[in-house]
Each structure stands twice: as structure tokens, then as C-alpha cells.
Amino acid sequence: EQFRAELTPVLDAAYPLRADGITFFPFRRIFVVAQVK
């Protein structure tokens, strides 16, 4: 939950909503690798 809470605002800033309300990613897939310590 903490990882998601910290990542969400970063992604929102990097990939803002378009005028039609859709978030556009300039690539086909997003891969995230995380490690819990």
C-alpha cells in the first residue's frame, strides 16, 4: 500500500489526463518491478 501511495502521484504528474479524460502512455505496456524489504 505504501509503494502504491508513493507511486501514484509520480505517475499522475508524469502522465496527466488528456482533455477527454484518458491517460495516454506513449508505449504499449508498462512493467513495474518492486522489492519489499
Give 10-residue mean pLDDT values along the chain (37 residues): 90 87 73 88
| pLDDT at residue 27, as a whole number | 64
pLDDT at 6: 93
Please report the pLDDT score of residue 5 as a whole number.
92
User: Are the C-beta atoms of 23 and 15 separated by less than 8 Å?
Assistant: yes
Torsion angle of alpha carbons 36, 29, 5, 3, nearest 10°? Answer: 10
The sign one gets for the Cα dihedral 10, 12, 15, 16 is negative
Cα separation, 26 vs 33, whole angstroms: 19
User: In 3-state terms, what secondary structure has residue 17?
Assistant: strand
Instruction: Determine the pLDDT at residue 9.
Output: 92
Q: What is the pTM of this model?
A: 0.49
pLDDT reported for residue 18: 87
pLDDT of residue 11: 86
